[in-house]
Structure 1
């Protein structure tokens, strides 16, 4: 006689249910983190007018944030490897929330910049903790699709964050309101993190995590697969910031797209990014990282050439420039997904902190390199954009070579 009692869940089904709760929560944190970064893009003129600084100085809010995130990643590599994932996420999220509120309440530009630096120092370790938690919650055969939710969060933040920042600043108290709103959002996320990322009843406690030392960190950095994974991350981050920051100037000055068309570019790019990152992660899980990397290289090459080298009507160029933003994030999905395979379980948090630092460093170097090559024209457009596009395409085809090298290094490690 069959029992009417419900069977206890298997370990696999329990893991699936937990991942179904954990991954959306972590993706929400990634979205909130991205929202806090992109929200500053349209607020510069309002901030400058209110605090009495030149509008070009407001770019320091993004530059300093990125640099601080890189430094925070390096510090986190030493401090967070031996703590629980819940503590790492909670601590980073709390610090980010407190200093986001301090940014919104700053009475002058120097204090705002200081608060922004402190917020960035927590943002780097936060993303490392988020990706590490996803990697541990999802089996390897579905991991890339889960990681794509983190990179896709940036695209969603572009769609939601830029209009939201402008609406809130115009109707609800000025530029401080959207910054304070994001700070409150960070702190509100603390409660679900506390309840959902902890140990569940009946689960065995996680194994103790050894404290990370400088010598251990150097040994991790000295392994071939570690260097290759970081090179993949750095190249993707560098290449993305060669082109993306200058799309607005190119669209307005070189092509003649209106300001309404410019907003449409970012809406298209953000909306497509949610799709392309998800599709890239799914492709990596189903057919492998190398085919996905080759596909992204082909698509990225075609889109960059069509957007910047071929003539076309304004509506088509608008769509193509938005697609450039989306496919750049697909490139990052390949790099981030590959990086989750590099570290051994005990080293994941430490290595992901190094990934966060490399991402910030690569972005900063890419932005700096582009400003050295590009020249602004009197009409507001830019010259020499073709050099940046060519370099971005070349780095897109470096990625499959690094992916093949990483695969061989990991295979040798498993065999040995």
Structure 2
């Protein structure tokens, strides 16, 4: 489904577009550079709330209505972000956009999971996670160029808003009724009691814990890479573009490779491999000093392996819910992803501090926490596998 992949890419770009723009937004609006991370925090927390609402409201509606409604709201509120004259209004518009992004992600992942056999599902879902890599390699360098040459940091926000709105018509046609095929059966409305029963199943909680830990850990580090590169590593703005290009290009490969590894040898070996690679790369990127080209490559690799961690979590989550409950559970997954990311970004702002020279102090604490959570993942994977095997044995 190439068009759904484009929707996933645009949704991913909206989530990460402020990563490289934070220092420029802070300079323009006169706020501390560490406070720029709140553009990510407000967006992701609101996406979590939107996912929770979607779990109640979208289980009984068509995929077409879920995708179109979420995409339209995302476009309108992204335009409001572009037009916001002050930082508080910008954060408010950013939160409204995020509330639409969570359900959109759930609808896209559900559509992909329902159209691919289980033996190839991890590789297919990795394409959604890989959309974040494409956003990094194609979108963020373009955002930096647009911001530098065509009107400042607001111009990339306008561009992504237009992209959302342009996608509405082709998505409407793609997800419409197909000639010769019967209409889909009516979907049962999800009640609050049913949602709570689903939420508190042992395997549901374990799957959501796996998602939440990966999301929290990723956003401890990623929002501060631009400021760290400019202030701590002495990398130029041109070098910053290279970091995101390297990260995005590698992420497309690492997410795909992780999904393939999960399908061929299992989730646990893939999770252990990601943990080893992630630990090595984080320690090297933030613990070693060296020439600018080496630090640039390492920081770009950090972005890529963080997304490999998310691939393991997202792929595992598609196995939790039976088909009739998949959309509702994916909304819970989207909510947990966003809330975990928002809490990670918020927690990171409590730890790091900007130095007078523009660098960041205390990044080592964030790196240590991110590594620790990488090694929690294999334990959760083992627990989830046992819970799903028990459910299957009981006929659930």
Normalised to the residue count of structure 1, the TM-score between the two structures is 0.87
1:341 aligns with 2:331: no
Aligned to 2:57: 79
Q: 1: CA distance between counterparts of 2:118 and 2:181?
A: 21
Per-residue CA deviations over 1:76-112 (Å, capped at 9, x if unaligned) read 1110011111111111111111222233234555444
Q: 1: CA distance between counterparts of 2:209 and 2:238?
A: 38
Computed over aligned residues only, the root mean square deviation of the Cα atoms, in angstroms, reads: 2.2
Aligned to 1:216: 194
- Match for 1:98 among 49, 61, 76? 76
Most deviating of 65-74 and 261-270? 261-270
Is the CA contact (8 Å cut-off) linking 1:53 and 1:109 kept in structure 2?
no
Gap regions ≥5 residues in structure 2: none
Q: 2: CA distance between counterparts of 1:45 and 1:370?
A: 16
Shift of 1:199: 3.7
Per-residue CA deviations over 1:374-394 (Å, capped at 9, x if unaligned) read 344443333333332222122
> Which of 1 and 2 has higher RCO (CA within 8 Å, sep 6+)?
2
Is the CA contact (8 Å cut-off) linking 1:27 and 1:150 kept in structure 2?
yes
Per-residue CA deviations over 1:220-263 (Å, capped at 9, x if unaligned) read 01100100000000000111122222333433444333333333
1:54 aligns with 2:28: no
Is the CA contact (8 Å cut-off) linking 2:37 and 2:349 kept in structure 1?
no
The 3-state SS of whatever aligns with 1:255 is coil
Is the CA contact (8 Å cut-off) linking 1:148 and 1:280 kept in structure 2?
yes
The 3-state SS of whatever aligns with 1:395 is helix
Normalised to the residue count of structure 2, the TM-score between the two structures is 0.92
**Residues 141-160 of structure 1: pairs in structure 2 closer than 5 A:** 141-160=119-138
Shift of 1:123: 0.6
Structure of higher CA gyration radius? 1
1:324 aligns with 2:295: no
- Match for 1:256 among 234, 245, 257? 234
Aligned to 1:409: 387
Is the CA contact (8 Å cut-off) linking 2:41 and 2:341 kept in structure 1?
no
The 3-state SS of whatever aligns with 2:60 is coil
Q: 2: CA distance between counterparts of 1:305 and 1:395?
A: 14
Is the CA contact (8 Å cut-off) linking 1:44 and 1:55 kept in structure 2?
no
Aligned to 2:212: 234
Q: 2: CA distance between counterparts of 1:106 and 1:313?
A: 40
Q: 1: CA distance between counterparts of 2:122 and 2:387?
A: 19
- Match for 1:370 among 342, 348, 363? 348
Aligned to 2:258: 280
Aligned to 1:206: 184
1:290 aligns with 2:268: yes
Count of matched residue positions in the alignment of Structure 1 and Structure 2: 393
Aligned to 1:13: none
